[in-house]
Chains A and B, each alone.
Chain A
Amino acid sequence: MNLLEILSYGFIQRALLAGVLIALLCSVLGVFLVLRRLSLIGDGLAHVTFGSTAIALALKFYSALSLLVSMPIVLLASLGILKLTEKGRLSGDTAIGLVSALGISAGVILASVGGGYNVDLLSYLFGNILSIRSEEVAIAALLCVGVMLLVTLYYHELFAISFSDELAQVSGIRTSYINAILVLLTALSVVLAMKLVGIMLISALLIVPAASALQLARGFKVCIILAALQGCGSVVIGIIVSIMANLPASASIVMVNLLFFAAACLTRRILYPKHSN
Chain B
Amino acid sequence: MPGRIVTTELLSCSYREGRVLEDISVQVERGDYVGIVGPNGSGKSTLVKALLGLVAISSGSARLFGTPLADFREWHKIGYLPQSLHLVNPVFPSTVHETVGLGLLSTKRFPKRLNRSDHGIISKTLDELSILDLEHKLIGELSGGQLQRVLLARAIVNNPELLVLDEPTAALDPETRDRFYTMIADINRSRGVTVLLVTHDSGAIGEHASKMLYLDKKVLFYGSFDQFCCSPEMSSLFGEHSQHLMCHRH
A residues near B, CB below 8 A? 35, 153-154, 156-157, 159-160, 162-164, 166-173, 213-214, 217-223, 275
Contact = CB atoms under 8 A, between A and B. Distances in A.
A156 B138 CA distance: 18
B5 to A, nearest CB: 15
A168 B103 CA distance: 9
B1 interface: no
7 contacts: A157-B112, A159-B98, A167-B82, A167-B87, A220-B94, A220-B95, A275-B140
Q: Which 4 A-B pairs have the closest CB atoms?
A: A172-B75, A223-B93, A171-B106, A220-B94
Contact of A172 (B54, B76, B99, B113): B76
Given A156-B112, A172-B75, A167 B93 contact: no
Contacts of B3: none
Contacts of B103: 171
Contacts of A153: 110-111
A166 B82 contact: yes
A53 to B, nearest CB: 35
A156 B82 CA distance: 20
Given A157-B112, A170-B54, A170-B80, A213 B105 contact: no
Nearest to B164: A170
A4 B102 CA distance: 47
Contacts of A162: 92
Given A156-B113, A213-B93, 12 more contacts: A157-B112, A162-B92, A163-B102, A164-B82, A166-B80, A166-B87, A170-B80, A172-B73, A214-B91, A217-B93, A218-B136, A219-B98
Given A220-B93, A220-B98, A275-B141, A171 B75 contact: yes
Contacts of B141: 275
Interface in B50-93: 52-54, 73, 75-76, 78, 80, 82, 87-89, 91-93
**Chain B interface residue count: which class?**
20 to 34
The listed residue with most B CB atoms (<10 A of its CB), out of A35, A163, A173, A219, is A163
A167 B102 contact: yes
Nearest to B80: A170
Contacts, number: 81
Contacts of B93: 213-214, 217-220, 222-223
B136 A171 contact: no
B82 A218 contact: no
Contact of B89 (A35, A213, A218): A35
A153 B75 CA distance: 20
A266 to B, nearest CB: 17
A160 B154 CA distance: 12
Contacts of B98: 159, 219-221
Nearest to B103: A171
A214 B113 CA distance: 24
A40 B140 CA distance: 24
A156 B53 CA distance: 21
A152 to B, nearest CB: 8
Nearest to B75: A172
A83 B95 CA distance: 32
A275 B136 CA distance: 15
B242 to A, nearest CB: 34
B105 A157 contact: yes
A277 to B, nearest CB: 11
Task: Output the residue of B54, B76, B88, B102 with the most chain A CB within 10 A.
Answer: B102
A219 B97 CA distance: 9
A218 B75 contact: no
Contacts of B52: 169-170
Interface centre among B88, B99, B105, B136 (most CB of A within 10 A): B105
Nearest to B105: A171
Contacts of A35: 89, 92
Interface in B103-150: 103, 105-106, 108, 110-114, 136, 138, 140-141
A173 B87 contact: no
Nearest to B76: A172
B80 A219 contact: no
Contacts of A217: 93
Contacts of B54: 166, 169-170
Contacts of B78: 170
B36 to A, nearest CB: 17
Contacts of A220: 93-95, 98
